[in-house]
Chains A and B, each alone.
Chain A
Amino acid sequence: MIDSWHGILHGLMVAGTPTNLLYTLIGVFIGTMISHLPGIGPSAGIALLIPITFGMNPTTALIMLAGIYYGCMYGGAVTAILINTPGDAAAVMTTLDGYPLARAGRAGAALSIAAMSSFIAGTLGVTALTFVAAPIAELALHFGPAEYFALMIFALSTVSALTGNSLAKGLLSTSLGLALSTVGLDLQSGRSRFTMGIVDLQQGVSFLVVVVGVFALAEVARMAEGTLEGTMHSVRVKGRIWFTRQDWKAAFPAILRGSAVGFFCGAAPGLGGTISAMLAYVTEKNLSKTPEKFGKGAIEGVAGPEAAVNADTCGAFVHLLALGIPASGSTAIIMGAFIMYGIQPGPLLFQSQPDLVWGLIASMYVGNVMLLVLNLPLVGLFARVLYAPPGVLLVMILGIASVGVYSFETNPFMLYMALVFGVVGHVFRKLDIPKAPLIFGIILGGKIEQSLRQAMTISSGDPLVFLKSPLAAALLALAAAMIALSFWAKRKSAATLRAAQVRVEEQVQPQSVP
């Protein structure tokens, strides 16, 4: 506890330097802008901007990337409320009540409640992160290769089992990611694997190329389809951007409950913001004395999910910083950025890079305040981004993605690879294959193999090493249980979400953007 106090005070000094304050502001500003661009979520946004952070101080760069992430989650509600299109997948539940409120002329109340919920949940979430991450990291210092292997298998199983509508597709995405992680030089034997004689593959398949292709380029394809089919439609902000006392009275308990649900979901690998938002929404509806209002413009239906989504981002950082395991697609991309800067997230990070860890955590407090200041008075101004021509946006995104990927190694091969992964991402979307497990597989594949080989070497080739450690055995059992449960259970959560999406489609009367 005292260590955490010292750490956060030190972190505030790091985050408070003019450069870091500036990049926190830039990060949250870009994140908010990205969240207002329909179709471009945090993963695509972070992937697009990673190349721009090369050459920067890693702490500053990661502060900016994290700012983009939580800025994006913070602002995702705006598109959900105004155009009935979630700025990121997690905001889908916000559309259910946010958009009806907007259509009833209460867009200002919905937007301001969403901003307040995000601020309170974000601050509570960072506070919990501050005091939870360090003790977990200390505990994780005692993990050996067998425990780490089991922990990563558990994370992969969870993300495979809980993401998307099909266990098979989750496993397929994970195994494809793991297979991609095996391409290139095997670091222990020095032998090439699966390079097909292509010299550019000796260093492996670049993580950046995969995320830009699968997220950014594939999103461009989706935007292109949306533009052609005229599915982007908008409602302009009318009235005062503030809420009434009655709204606040109804929303405040929902914010607190949503924060708790979101943080715990974020701290569990694989659950992610979408599920936490859904759980928060269902909780609010079940607790409400007027559940019939939900879906027609209940303010708690905006406050609960928005709080959950923002607390979830903080929970996700617990895993990333303390264990070196991502909790969602976006944190997997941020973890990839850590690795690209030569920093391995995990328990040792608190000892080896205290400036970075505590500076990053402290910057989230600062970033949350910045987001509130930016979002409440300027929400109307930001909302104008929604009216930017989608045709221009998608072309600019293609331009940024292309030059960003090329700048990584100044090698045109990377561009070809990005295009291939763009096609893969598009096929994934068309076939309803989740993308997050693919990124998990690529990010964790190398570490899983290394831990497996180390554990087997230490045990002289005895596979029972994974069962002799109680923790490893428990984690492997949990992983198996997760897969088995997913196999037998009817995916109610995914079905509920899909029903919400279908309902969103039905609620709106499309007005094509010219």
Chain B
Amino acid sequence: MADWVLAVFVVTGAVIYLRAAMNLERLQVGDALGPQVFPVIVAAVMLCSGLLLAWETWRKQTMPGPAPTQTLPPKRGREGRGSGPTAEERRQRLVLPAMAAWTALYYVAFEPVGYVPSTLVYLSALLFYFHRVNPLINIGYAAAFTAVAYLLFTNFLQVVLPAGILQF
């Protein structure tokens, strides 16, 4: 099913990209092709890959053959016996989206809040979840990493990291 969705997504994306490429201004002064042709070729390859994927998926579903070895059997339930997902598994499914959202928030705060405070809070919160030991140890890890990275980038690599709210 995922491959069908992917195929549709790729074909749609390729058509949008092709249309955008066709709308590029034709400029061929001293250039036999101009800026339009290469993107059109790429769009055509993309379109072919989407159609080929649809064909591969269809063939996989319709042709009898040996048991598929291309994907590992999905682990479902605590013992992998085919029971429905447990409450823990449902909770785990939310972890990656939550992590991505937390990372996006960190990136938004990176400049206005500053590298040191935002990184300290960001890393500490992640460590609380992924490394469940004494919270003070996790804060120590986060502080040590932030300090070492700050010194490395500002002093050794001459990169100006945002001071944010610590700008006096």
A residues lining the B interface (CB < 8 Å): 51-52, 54-55, 165-169, 171-172, 174-176, 178-179, 182, 186, 188-189, 191, 193-194, 221, 224-225, 227-229, 389-392, 394-396, 398-400, 402-403, 406-407, 410, 412, 415-416, 419, 422-423, 426, 430-432, 445, 448-449, 452-453, 456-457, 459-461, 494-495, 498-499, 501-502, 505
Contact = CB atoms under 8 A, between A and B. Distances in A.
Given A228-B92, A406-B110, A457-B31, A419 B145 contact: no
A403 B53 contact: no
B161 A171 contact: no
- B30, B99, B115: which has the most chain A beta carbons within 10 Å? B99
A403 B95 contact: no
A431 B107 contact: no
Nearest to A178: B42
Nearest to B45: A175
A390 B20 CA distance: 44
B31 A168 contact: no
Interface of B: 2-3, 6-7, 10, 14, 17, 20, 24-25, 27, 29-35, 37-39, 42-43, 45-46, 48-50, 52-53, 55-56, 69-72, 75, 92, 95-96, 99-100, 103-104, 106-108, 110-111, 115, 119, 122-123, 126-127, 129-132, 141-142, 145-146, 149, 152-153, 157-161
A168 B53 contact: yes
B92 A189 contact: no
B157 A189 contact: no
A495 B111 CA distance: 47
Contacts of B145: 396, 399
Contacts of A390: 130
Given A392-B141, A395-B130, A165 B70 contact: yes
B110 A407 contact: no
Contacts of A169: 49, 53
Given A392-B141, A415-B107, A457 B30 contact: yes
Given A399-B146, A399-B149, A457-B32, 5 more contacts: A166-B56, A171-B52, A391-B131, A395-B126, A395-B130
A398 B95 contact: no
A395 B42 contact: no
17 contacts: A51-B157, A168-B49, A172-B50, A189-B35, A191-B35, A389-B131, A391-B130, A394-B130, A407-B157, A415-B110, A430-B2, A431-B2, A456-B33, A457-B31, A459-B32, A495-B70, A502-B69
A189 B31 contact: yes
Contacts of B17: 179, 194
Contacts of A445: 42
A403 B153 contact: yes
A433 to B, nearest CB: 8
Contacts of A396: 123, 141, 145
A221 B96 contact: yes
A186 B26 CA distance: 12
A52 B157 contact: yes
Contacts of A55: 157-158
Q: Lowest 10 A-B CB distances belong to which pairs? A: A391-B130, A391-B131, A168-B53, A171-B49, A175-B46, A168-B52, A456-B32, A186-B35, A461-B32, A415-B107
A419 B42 contact: no
B92 to A, nearest CB: 5
Contacts of A165: 70
B78 to A, nearest CB: 11
B95 A449 contact: no
B34 A399 contact: no
A117 B97 CA distance: 43
Given A229-B92, A400-B149, A54 B157 contact: yes
Contacts of B20: 194
A400 B152 CA distance: 11
Contact of B27 (A191, A432, A495): A191
Contacts of A227: 130
Contact of A453 (B32, B56, B149): B32
